Amino acid sequence: LHSHFRKPKKEEEYVQIAPEVPGGEPRYVKAPKVLSEYDKCKLECKRKRDEANRKENIAALREQLAALEAEEAATQKSGGAAEKVANDAEPICEENHRNSVNT
């Protein structure tokens, strides 16, 4: 039905290899793909672009890690105060919960 929309399969080239034993059947294997200068240049550019993107990603991740570590250190320094506030908030929540359940 949709066969006219499919890309035609590339014809694969096969190379004949001499038989392993005298008098045996020759084998046929796929020929190695020969890259044109354009394809080589394209692959080289892609490799360089990927390497640059990788370096940028690593730098961004290191910055994020440093920011999160600084935030964690600040949280630990003021950890006692933060825990006190959290503990004070708990009874209020429980009291509100009890009031809403009783009504």
Q: Tell which wins on pLDDT, 51 or 4.
A: 51
Find where tokens 């360089």 sit.
Answer: 48
- pLDDT-derived band of residue 26, with 50, 70 and 90 as boundaries? confident
Supply the DSSP string of 67-103, one letter for each residue.
HHHHHHHHHHHTHHHHHHHHHHHHHHHHHHHHHHHH-
pLDDT at 33 over 70: yes
Q: Give yes or no for a contact between 30 and 16, defined as CB atoms under 8 angstroms apart.
A: no
How far is Cα 18 from Cα 39, in angstroms, rounded to an integer?
31
Contact 16, 27 (CB under 8 A): yes
Average pLDDT over residues 69-89: 71
Domains of the chain, residue spans: 41-78
pTM: 0.39
